[in-house]
Amino acid sequence: MVRRARRINRELAEIYPYAHPELDFRNPFELLVATVLSAQTTDLRVNQTTPALFAAYPTPEDMAAAVPEELEEIIRPTGFFRAKARSLLGLSQALRDDFGGNVPGRIEDLVKLPGVGRKTANVVLGNAFGVPGITVDTHFGRLVRRWKWTEQEDPEKVEAEICAIFPKSEWTMLSHRVVFHGRRICHSRKPACGACPIAPLCPAYGEGETDPEKAKKLLKYEKGGQPGQRLSPPPDYPGLPAPPLGAAQEAPADS
């Protein structure tokens, strides 16, 4: 299993050499806020919402002083906006009062912030501070179970078992590659098995559409010739930038 898992990772590295966090951000604070907002919605919707949010509140000090109703109105498109506003106000106030207005670079500190769990902390550490970590989101958990890397359902147990399979240096990029594959090809309800480059290595091959032509029509984002989730993607991203809020239809639900 370990040999197959590591080979799948190597194959994914060739398929997605441009894998990256799909949230737009310019600094650790923006990534932290965007990750909190990404719960129960798409990264695309978050990316379409954060330009106005960070224009209004560019720093933790600014956001900590926000009028709750005004903050709620800006983040309303991401859903669960009242609860998310409480988290953003709480974490911004904690950053202002306890960390000098800076996002801490230790998981022990990050998980104490309102609305921040291990998943969010690992996203921030891996992509804003270069600290390796496994990010167990819905896609990651689904795929590693589908590939028989683990049988665990609890995210912390999944994280621990996957960390044991791969060298630490691979953890952050492995997370991106697996999530990219889950969003583009290995969907939850209709995996595009017939268009999957790692099909020969997959113990779950056949759960989805195996006809190559039919499977090709299931591909999403750049693999399907559609815009990605970031309005400002990295220079090496081969797909199209996402449209601003209100400019086009939302991304598919399984995003």
Neighbour tally for 189: CB within 10 Å: 9
Spatial contact of 36 and 78, defined as CB atoms under 8 Å apart: no
Structure tokens at 214: 């039919």
Give the single-character DSSP code of 148: T
- In the chain, the amino acid numbered 162 is I
Q: Nearest 5°: CA angle at 241, between 236 and 243?
A: 170
Catalytic residue positions, numbered: 119, 137
Distances (CA, A) of 95 to 32, 65, 243: 11, 12, 32
Spatial contact of 55 and 35, defined as CB atoms under 8 Å apart: no
Alpha helices in 41-134 (DSSP H): 43-56, 60-64, 68-75, 81-98, 107-110, 118-128
Give the single-character DSSP code of 20: -
Burial of 69 (0-12, 13-18, 19+ CB in 10 A): exposed
